[in-house]
Each structure stands twice: as C-alpha cells, then as structure tokens.
Structure 1
Amino acid sequence: MKKILSFTFILLFSIVIFAQKTISGTVKNDDGKPLASASVTIEEIGKNAILEYAITDAKGNYKVTFTSNDEKILVKVKAFNHQTITENYNNATQTLNFVLQEKATEIKEVKLKTKLITKRGDTISYDLKSFESKADRSLADVLKKIPGIEVNKDGSILYQGEPINKFYVNGKDLMEGSYGLINNSLPKDAVQKVEVLENHQPVKILQDKLSSENAAINVQLKKSITMTGRGETSLGVAPSLWNVKLSPMLFTQKYQWVLNYKTNNMGEEVEKENNILAFGNRFEGMRRNFSENSWLSVENAATPQNVPVKRYLLNNVHYLSANVLTNLSKQWELKANASYSNNAIERESMVKTFNANNDLTNTSLVSNNFYTNQAKGEIIFSKNANKSFFKNTTTYNGLWNGDLANTKNNNIASNQRTKTPSNSFQNSLSAIIPWKERLVNAMSFISYRDDKQDLFINPANYVVNLQNVDGGNNSEVVHQFLNLKTFEAIHSASIGLSKKNWTFTPEVGLNYTNNKLLTDVNGVTGNSIQDYQFSGNALENDINFKNLKPYAQMMVNYKREGLDVNLSFPVNFNNISATGTNNLDKTLNKVTYEPRLFMRYDLTSFWKFSTFAGITNSFGSINDVYNGFILLSAKNLSSRNTDIQQTRSNFVGSRLEYRNPLNNIFFNVSYNFNDRTNNVTFLNELDEASQQFIIKGYNLENNSKTNSARTELGKYFPKFKTNASVGYNYSLNNYQQLPANSTPTESSFIDVEGVNQGVSVKFNNNYFSWLSVDYNANWNFNNTKSPDDARFNNKTNLFNHALSAYVYPFKNHTLGFTWDELHSSNRERTAKNAFFDLSYQYSMSEEKIDLELKVLNITNNNVFENVTFNSTFNQTSYTTVNIRPRQVVLTLKFNFK
C-alpha cells in the first residue's frame, strides 16, 4: 500500500511538473509606456475556463505559469481605458509582449458587485456576506460554510484539513490561541471579511527567512472602532433549565478587550472556550493547555461518541473570563487574560461486556458526580516588530477537582471518591535581536507543578486485585495516596546567518526535568490505618526522576519564489536516571540524531506540493518507571518495573493542494507513513468477572507501522449559493500485541492489523430566500483482525449525520428543524439513536433581537446506545448512557451594539 501511494504521488508530481508552461513579458500602451495593473489571463479555448492569471507590476512586467495539455491556449490582456487583446497561441513556454491601444471606456451604469473569494499573494479573502444564511448569528455559524475551512466540535478551525496557527481580529492576536470565545460570540454583522493567511509566519522579523507550514485567520471588522458582542438568556423546563451568555467586546486600534460570563445547566461546555487551539510559532516561546494530571481516578461512566455534547451532558457550570490587549507604544503590547470556572456534572451508564466467544462476562453500572474548580491568570508582554522580537508570558493555573462514583459490577457495589488539587506556575521568554547582519534568539521556559491526589474505595474487598494482600485484609476502605512535584527548565540560544536565499541557524539548548513521586496504598478502618503488602511486592513508591538533555542543532532554510526548504539536524545527549524505593536504580545515557526535512513548492498560483520526513526518539517519563504498584483506579493496578522506555519513529509524508478562488474550488490529498519501535511492552492480566486488571511492563521490543491517506474536495457554486465537499480517509495499522493473560515472551506476540476507512460529506444551500439547509454525514468502517488468533476478528461500522433546515415563511419569522442520528454496529449488535429538535424564532431586525422557542429531543429519548470494540482485551461492549430528556426552552438573543 505504501509503495502504491508513494508511486501515485511521484507520478502526480511528475505530470504536473512536466506539463507546466510559463509565459512572461511586458504590457505597454501605444506610446511605449508600461501599463501597471493590467491583467493577463490564460484560458482553455472554447471552454471559458481560466487556467491562470497575472497582474502587471509598476514596470508593466508579468509572469504567469500554467498547466494545460491542449495544443493551443487563449491569452486575454485587459487594462482600464485600453482595448482588450484576445489571441490564440501555442501551448509552450515563451515571451509575449503586448501593446494596448487607448480606448475610452464609457460607463453607462455602475453596479458594485463584491467577489466571493479573492486571492492576493498568500492571502485569500472571503466576503462573509456571500456565505451567510438568515439563521446565522455568529462568526462560527458562517465559517462552517466557507469552502476550504472546517470548524471542529471543539471550536478549532482547520484550513485545507490542517489547524491554523493564529487567529487575529484586525491583525491583533488578543486571545493568544484561545479563539473559541470570539468565534462563537462575535456577531457576523460586525465582520467585513475573513482572510486566510497561507504559510503564515507570525514573527515579523523572520517572515522573509523562515516560513510556516500552517495558515492563519484574520477577521477584518467593518469599523475601526467596534463595540459589539452577543448575549443570550434562556429559561426552560424538564427539569428547571437556564442558560445565560454575556460576551461584550471592544476592538480599536489601541485597545481590544473581551469580557465573558456564561452559566447554564443545558449541556453546553462553555468552560472549554479557554482552551488554547492555536499555538503559534516555536520562536514565540512555549504555552500549554492545563488539565488534570489524572494518575488516580474513580470509575467513569461511559460517554457517547460522535454526538453533540448538549445531548448528554448533565451539567451546572459558571464560567467567567476577561481578555485585555493594549498598545503601550507603537510596537509594544501588553495582554492580560484571566478566567475561572465552577462546574458540576452528573453521568450514568451501563456497560455489558462480551468476550471473543460472544459470552456475556460483565455488567457494569456507574453513576458519577464530577466537581471542578479551575482558575487561570496570564500576563503577556510582547514586541513584534520588523527588526526585533520579544515575548514574555507568565501563567498561573489552579485546579481543585473532586469526583464521586457509585458502581455495581455483577451486583457487587462500591463507593469511590477522589480529591485532586493541582497548582502550576510557568514563565516563557523568547527574544530575537539583530546583531550586525545576524539574528540572535534566546528562549527560556520554567515550570513548577504540584499535584496531590487521593483515591478512596469502599468497601475494600471491592478491589479484587488487593484481596490477597498481606495485612489490612479486614479494612473497610482502600486509600491510595499520590503526590507528584515537577520542575522543568528549557533553555536555548541560536543565531541566524542569512546569505541570499539561504538562512543558517545553529542552536544549542539544555532541557531539564525533575520529578519527585510519593505513593502509598493502605487500608482504613475507623481511625486506624493498616499497611498493605501485595504478594511480596511493595505498594509504595518514593522516586526521584531526572532527565537532562543538552542538545545542538543546525537549521537550514532555503527560500526563493515558489520554493521553501527547511532542514534541521539536531544531536541530543540524553541523560536519564530514576532512583528510589523497591531497589529502583535505572539510568540511560544515549546520543540520538533526529534529522527533519520539510519542503513546499508552489507549482502554480493554484497548485502547491509539500513533503516532510524525519526521525524522532522519545524516552520514558516518571509515568513509566515505578517498581511499586499504584492503584490507578479500582479496576487498574499497575507496576512498571522495566528498563527506561525508548521509542523510535521514522516518518515521511507528502501533500498536494489546489485552491482556486476564481472557480471556488479547494482540493487536498495527503499521505503519511510512520514506523514505530518500542523496547517495552505492557501485559494486561484481566479478571473477566470483575473486569479489573493488573498492568505489568516487560522488556520486550514491539513494532508498529501506520500508513494513512486523506483527501478532500470542496467547491462553492455561486449561482446556486451552495457549498459542498466530500472527503475520504484511509489508515492501515499493523502492530504487535501481547494478548491479555498470556505469557510475556517474544513468541507470545500476535500480529494485529487494523484498517479504518471514512467518508464525509458536507453540504449547505441558501439558494431559496425562504429556505436554508445544512447537512453533514460521516461513515466509518473499522476492521481489526489477527492472522495468529482467529477469535481476534472484529468489524465496527459507524454512521452519523446532522441535518439543520430553516424555513422563513414571513419576514422576521423562522422555523427550524434539526435531526441528529448515529448508528453503530459490531458483530451481531446494532445501536441506533435519533434526536429531533424544533424551533420558532421571531427577529426584530432593527434592534438585532431574537426571541426563540425551542423543543429539544422531541421524541424524549432517555438513553443513548453504542457498540464499541476493545482491541487490548478482544472484547465487545454494548453501552447505554443516560442523556438529557425532552426540554422546552425560551431564549432571548441580542447584540450588544
């Protein structure tokens, strides 16, 4: 498969290269003076299809590269107040000079007509008005309908299938990657256009030296001073429901700020709007999403997959945030971001587990209550100028979680709870300073984090894996304690040397991580504590883990018109040690070489080809080196008494893109291959009756290979106001696995093959003034099998689609219908789920106020059904999850201005 796909890409690339032709020359008037801004268009004869075009510069010069297999091509030359030239020429590389005769243009009537999509250099602009429907209110509503752009369920934006690296409003990055809030709350009426900045390098001083693989989004507002934002207030029944959203915003040349307060118990995950979705450029320093370091956990109820969260999330959330940007001077900016969320979630599910023989082995009931308090504060001081760069980011994150679980496994019940407070401080600094003709970069990242976690399980004998321990057998409660303190420092310095089209950047750095881990398991009876000892092995750990990695690398960049090549040659000196209780004394000293290549070539204005390849090495962390057992959950007892893990990956990939704003066509196809080797393999010892297991690591090498391909074709049809796209993805994963409860030897491995195929379709139409339709559908087919084990054979099919239709029978009146459906099947089991919503909205256009009445889940489905396959244990699970019942909601929506 890999060879076939690679050959296909080489063939495609060769065909395009050899079919290319270039026509260049000058355009002048009859006095011999050069004509600027004249257009030279190459078309197919008799087909009215534009192949390529170019605009003359101030000296009248032009150059246009195109691809055509026809014998002849049509060339049109136009300029204002001059007579158009239209001639046929041979399809060949040649020089054509044109002289245009003056001709006065009589304008009888002027009709301004905005182009849907325009392209200038690496910037593609979309006229937002051309893609919106009457039902759309926010920027995100419209972005979903623009060709070449996708909006994921988490709010992240993809362009041509790849994530963006920046999200600007009027050229400023207020949100520093956490753009979900603006995307969801910025009124579409405030936006003039949306720009895609292809291959965007956010650090200005590097823009002519180092390019980027990713694009950025810039939202251009209609007014230079914009006071805007969205607000909603909702009340409902079944049971008592509320939803309040208040997001005022101000955007000026000097200041930008966004305030936000949201609270609801209607299943909206508003607290995730604070997640970082775009991470910018490595030279900007380091920023990370903060989440619970979840070593210990209660048993969790299952959640539906590929279903909107609002269908099943039983929450009660309050989320408050503030984001402020101010220009301290012409070049210096100060940003301050702060947020706090308080969230309570209920969840309940039942899971029936079937083994490879299709026998029912376990029925599990889990009911959860999750409680989260999270706070974040961040100050960013930056200068991003053409001649220097500076950025310092200081961040505090605090998390105070507490989870509860009531469970029953084959009629054996338990109560479980955790307390997991966590605090983190980070500071990231990056500076680029010109020194003579060189650029000097210094980066520093320092982080300290303290995680404390406690897990309590009652009764103690619920934990089957601890029933044979020495001491504490009569205890009432099992208590697992864990404390992890982490210090991390990452420092580097580099100098950029540029000559003509080449940039050489030698870099040296030092990465250091220190972890201190304390864990212990004991039994509690009343006020007394009993020590546990498990089959002669310790149930406690006191570990000091250190990872010191000095490194040096050379980065080489070659850039000329249409071609960009990046090479890096890092040499890493890895020094890892782990010492502590249970005779823990492990060290690893290894030098690794990790070369990487990235190349992009603009075949024409519309076609772009890129390829990449490289080698990576990763090593085990504190999560992989504890000899004593840790009770990670009531069902999971784990020990990692192995060598320090070493994982080596060789990867290669390529990508071909076509984006033609003239014909509104966007296309991309990509291929990736990864060969991964690990020196440690983990074996699961499963007790089928309780579904509890012990994980142990062994020094056995395993290998996996993954081939994956993806393609997508999208087109906007202006005449029919329709945007349509179709996508296909394929992956083949071959890996080695130790079957559960097998003997851990090299001969025990089985080869497993997993094939996954997916088809996606997206369609939206606004052709009729009284109707707009949005439709998305996905089909996924997964086949997992092993030639070494006939029982290891499973096929899973998944289909889900979402339809939204809005009818406008009269002015200011809207009727809405939503239909979500998901089917999953596995072996002899099939689960089907369908949800329907109805809505009526009255709009007061002048006041920009909407009043909406909505009925959600009108069929009152109480549970969601799903079928899944677990390849680790060769098991099928049939799951039912309690979801939100029928709800009736009245909502008032408004713009702040």
Structure 2
Amino acid sequence: MKRYITLFLSTLLGIAVMTAAPEIIRGTVTDSESGEPLPGVVVQSINEASKSVSFSSTKADGSFTLNVKSGVSVTFRCMGYETLSMKVTDDFASVKMSPKATQLRDVIIKAPDIYQKGDTLVYNVDKFAKQQDDAIIDVIKRLPGIKVDDDGTIVYNGKPINKFYIDGNDFIGGQYGLATNNLSKDDVKSVEVLENHQPIKALDDIEFSDQAGINLKLKEDARQKWVGVAQGAAGFSPMLYDASLFTMRIASKIQNMFTLKVDNTGWDPSTQIIEHDYEMLFDRSYDANIWSDYISADAVSIPLADKRTRDNLSMLANAITAWRTGDTSMRLKLNYSGDRLDYGSGVTTDYFSSDIPDFVQNKSLCTSIHDVTAQLNSEVNKSGYYLKNKLVADALWRNSDSDVSGSYSLGQRVKRRTLSVVDDLRLVKRNDKRLITVSSRNSVNHNPQELNVTGDEINADQWIHSTDVR
C-alpha cells in the first residue's frame, strides 16, 4: 500500500513541476516596424489581483530579466508605444511592441505678477497692461513702487533711477522718454528693477548706491528685427492734427532708434528728449547757465496749463545709433526740435468821463524755436577702469515778432542765437590700494541777441553778444 501512495505523490509532484511557471524569464524587446531594440521599456509581472509583483526595465540592447515567481502575466510599457500584455508561459525571446502616439493633457503655465531674482525685482507686463495703454510708459506708471514725474523722470522708492536699459543695452542714455513713450507694451515682456544698482563696475563694492536701474526685457519676436509704431489723428474746426512714427531695432552689436513727430494740439513733443542726467560728471555746485538772457521783451507768463493755452506747431526728429566692442560702447544722437507759438490778447478800458477816449490795446505775438543737437558718447566700463566722454554740439535759434495795435501801434522783433560745444570727461582708475577719479568740463558758448522796436515815433535797435569759454 505504501508503494502505491509513494507512486501517486511522485506523479502529482512531477505534474506540478511540469505546469509551474518559471521563476525568471529573459528576453528582448524590439520595435515591430524597424526591428530596433527598445531601451527603457518598463516590464512588470502582474498577479491574479492585478497588482504589480515585480518589475524591471530593458537595457540599451533591449534585453531584460524579470522574476515572475508569483505572477500570472507580464506587461510592457513605453512612451510612444502601445502597452503589451503577455502570459508568463509565452515565449519572451523576441517581444515586439507597436508604435502609438501618446497624447499629453494640456499644461498651462502662468507667470507670477511680481517675483524677486536676487537684487532684481521683475514685473510681468502682461499682468499690469490694459487694452487702452498706448505705450509701455502707461504700464510703468501703475507698477508698485514706481512713479513717473510730470517731466517723465522715473522714480523708484522716492529716488530717480540711475540707469535705463533695453535688453541690457544702455544705448538711449538719459533720453529714455523716447523709448517709454513710444515703445509698444506688446513688445515688452517684463520691467526689471535693478535695486541698489551701481552702473560703474570700478566702483562696485566701494561706492554704495541707493538708486535703482530699470531694464525693459523685450519679447523674443521683438529682438533682432525692426519694430515700430505709427499713429495719426486729425480734427476739424479748427484743424488739429497729431502724427508720429517710431521705429527701433535692438541687435547684439548695434542698436538703432528713429522718431518723427508733428503736433498742433497744444502738446510739445520735445519733452520726450529731456536729458534725465542721472550720472553727474562733475560737482553739483557747477552752474552751466550763469548768463541769463539780457533781452527778454517777448517773455510770456500765463497762469494756466500749457495744453490749455498753447496755439502751436511743434516738430521733433531724433536718431540714435549705438554700437559695442567688448567693454567699449559708443552712442551717436541727433536731435531736432521745432516749436512755433501764436499768442493773442486784447484790453479795452472805458472811462466814466466822456471827455476821455476809450483805451484799446490788442496784442499779437508769434515765437519760433529751432534746436539742433549732436551728441557723441564713448564709454569704457571695466572692473578696474572706467572712462566716459560726452561731446555735445548745440545750435539754437529763437525768434519772435509782436505787434500792438489800438490806441497806439508798436512793433517788436527779437532774435536770439546760441552756439555751444561742451565736452564732459570722467575717469575712474582702481587698483588694490588706490582709487583715482578725474572729472572735467570744457565748454564754449556764443550768444548773440538782437532787439528791434518800431512805432509811430520810435525806431530803436539793441545788440548784445556774449561769448563764454570755460
């Protein structure tokens, strides 16, 4: 009896060994179309409860080894391929996976309104811009901590900025109103505030700055190509018009900017070329205009806002070209501004006595200003050496014609000219022990002035010429 029992148990054990799954399987996974081996395929053994029991991944040659002691099936997963499931008893010598496109769900990344990057505060323009904004200055005005004065000066935390960059280039200088008032908000990605900015590398870690710099970071599609804005408007009765053209190109080696404006609505476009001279090349006590106008017979003072009283024809033309070679940068500016103004006023005085005739006085005045400026800046900015030279040549014409009519008549003509050449130089030399600073200004100013008065019983002339060499 024992012999039969032993024989029966041996038979069952043999059958169990013949039907049991192997503990380790080996194989190779390839692309079903190209036949190339697939590395990085995730191979998993799954039990009867559909849970992963063990896993492995294919090597560079597509081979794999997997322990499937308690598994009933094996799955193969890979990005870009259809998931494959096989039984543990199948042949794994050559597993072929079919390519399949993998669709990813949409991912939306939102930039924060403001974020800090070291000493730089970055404002996301898209978060602060509004549809009605004409230029980037409209966005800058509403940024927290920033204020724009009436003359266009940008102030951060109560102090004027000491540098203005576009994509890290200081090619505009102090006339940054040209960029802020004309550059479209759609071309600017962010406004970066460089806190405690020291623009002179030779003074870094020596002279602390409590002022900030501003950098406009352009969008990718606004770089390395010409961008611009053209605007125009007109009205009737009386005929009013305002037109402007602005174009700019920021490249790695050379930068260009051109501006044209004409206006007769009361606005003076020359306010955009005001020099916000944030870098003093000499002592603040220096007075550049110690000689006032001797002839000022055409001076007019009106206690109302200019835009409510100006009867004008104003023009502006500006061209800026800047280029850089290593640590040396050059900038050439050409400016023309013209402004013609017409004034008119009248006074009638009645007296109680009929024996005294009424006093009537009608005044008319026309003034014109033409200003042409050429400016050449050269700068070397290194950690141990700084040199800046600014050469400016300016020609200014100011004319006026006035007439008085009524109880008496009088005519007056004023001519003023200013021809000047000014050269500013600053040198900073630094080594381990010493810091040497040299600043200088050399200037020549020639100012001829003329006055001619004509009337019923008068004809007089006056000439005053002054020349100032310093």
TM-score (norm 1): 0.37
Aligned-residue Cα RMSD (Å) equals 3.2
8 A Cα contact 1:164 1:278, kept in partner: no
Using the alignment, how far apart are the partners of 1:257 and 1:288 within structure 2? Answer: 33
8 A Cα contact 1:265 1:316, kept in partner: yes
Moved more, 398-407 or 276-285: 276-285
Using the alignment, how far apart are the partners of 2:286 and 2:231 within structure 1? Answer: 32
Using the alignment, how far apart are the partners of 1:350 and 1:148 within structure 2? Answer: 48
Equivalent pairs, count: 355
Q: Deviations over 1:594-634 (max 9, x none)?
A: xxxxxxxxxxxxxxxxxxxxxxxxxxxxxxxxxxxxxxxxx
Deviation of 1:365 after TM superposition, in Å, equals: 5.8
- Tell me what 1:343 maps to: 339
Deviation of 1:318 after TM superposition, in Å, equals: 2.6
- Tell me what 1:429 maps to: 425
**Counterpart amino acid of 2:294?**
W
- Tell me what 1:844 maps to: none
Deviation of 1:415 after TM superposition, in Å, equals: 2.3
**Which residue of the other structure, out of 139, 150, 171, is the alignment partner of 1:174?**
171
- Tell me what 2:468 maps to: 486
Q: Deviations over 1:638-663 (max 9, x none)?
A: xxxxxxxxxxxxxxxxxxxxxxxxxx
**Counterpart amino acid of 2:338?**
N
Distance 1:170 1:159, change over 3 A: same
TM-score (norm 2): 0.68
Using the alignment, how far apart are the partners of 2:286 and 2:166 within structure 1? Answer: 20
Using the alignment, how far apart are the partners of 2:127 and 2:290 within structure 1? Answer: 40
**Which residue of the other structure, out of 130, 138, 141, is the alignment partner of 1:141?**
138
**Counterpart amino acid of 1:483?**
H
- Tell me what 2:442 maps to: 446
Using the alignment, how far apart are the partners of 1:422 and 1:126 within structure 2? Answer: 43
Higher share of residues assigned strand: 1
**Counterpart amino acid of 1:140?**
I
Identity %: 27
- Tell me what 2:234 maps to: 235
SS of the residue 2:399 aligns to:
strand
8 A Cα contact 2:372 2:395, kept in partner: yes
Q: Deviations over 1:226-275 (max 9, x none)?
A: 53121113333223333221111001222211011112222221123222
Structural mapping, 1:461-860, within 5 Å: 476-488=458-470
Distance 1:263 1:338, change over 3 A: same
Distance 1:448 1:160, change over 3 A: same
- Tell me what 1:220 maps to: 217
Distance 1:292 1:342, change over 3 A: farther
Q: Does 1:294 align with 2:293?
A: yes
Q: Which runs of 5+ in 1 are unaligned?
A: 1-107, 353-361, 461-474, 489-897
Distance 1:407 1:116, change over 3 A: farther
Using the alignment, how far apart are the partners of 1:243 and 1:289 within structure 2? Answer: 34
Distance 1:117 1:366, change over 3 A: farther
**Counterpart amino acid of 1:452?**
P
SS of the residue 2:181 aligns to:
helix
Using the alignment, how far apart are the partners of 2:360 and 2:110 within structure 1? Answer: 64
Q: Deviations over 1:273-299 (max 9, x none)?
A: 222023324479999999995331224
Deviation of 1:221 after TM superposition, in Å, equals: 1.0
8 A Cα contact 1:203 1:284, kept in partner: no
Distance 1:160 1:436, change over 3 A: closer
Structural mapping, 1:114-133, within 5 Å: 114-133=111-130
Q: Does 1:185 align with 2:167?
A: no
8 A Cα contact 1:392 1:427, kept in partner: yes
Deviation of 1:412 after TM superposition, in Å, equals: 5.5
Using the alignment, how far apart are the partners of 2:175 and 2:284 within structure 1? Answer: 16
8 A Cα contact 1:368 1:406, kept in partner: yes
Distance 1:211 1:351, change over 3 A: farther
Distance 1:405 1:298, change over 3 A: farther
8 A Cα contact 1:166 1:278, kept in partner: no
8 A Cα contact 1:128 1:192, kept in partner: yes
- CA radius of gyration, larger in: 2
8 A Cα contact 2:396 2:417, kept in partner: yes
Distance 1:205 1:213, change over 3 A: same
- Tell me what 1:198 maps to: 195
8 A Cα contact 1:285 1:429, kept in partner: no
Deviation of 1:405 after TM superposition, in Å, equals: 2.4
- Tell me what 1:402 maps to: 399
SS of the residue 1:253 aligns to:
coil
Structure 1 segments (4+ residues) deviating >4 Å: 108-111, 283-293, 349-352, 362-366, 410-413
Q: Deviations over 1:453-481 (max 9, x none)?
A: 11223339xxxxxxxxxxxxxx6133332
- Tell me what 2:43 maps to: none
Q: Which runs of 5+ in 2 are unaligned?
A: 1-104, 349-358
Q: Deviations over 1:188-247 (max 9, x none)?
A: 011111122233222121121112343222111112425312111333322333322111
Deviation of 1:364 after TM superposition, in Å, equals: 7.8
8 A Cα contact 1:148 1:160, kept in partner: yes
8 A Cα contact 2:202 2:429, kept in partner: no
- Tell me what 1:263 maps to: 262
- Tell me what 1:470 maps to: none
Deviation of 1:429 after TM superposition, in Å, equals: 1.6
Deviation of 1:350 after TM superposition, in Å, equals: 6.1
SS of the residue 1:212 aligns to:
coil
Deviation of 1:436 after TM superposition, in Å, equals: 4.6
- Tell me what 1:379 maps to: 376
Q: Does 1:414 align with 2:410?
A: yes
- Tell me what 1:152 maps to: 149
SS of the residue 2:296 aligns to:
coil
SS of the residue 1:185 aligns to:
coil
Using the alignment, how far apart are the partners of 1:260 and 1:292 within structure 2? Answer: 32
Deviation of 1:424 after TM superposition, in Å, equals: 0.1
Q: Does 1:163 align with 2:160?
A: yes
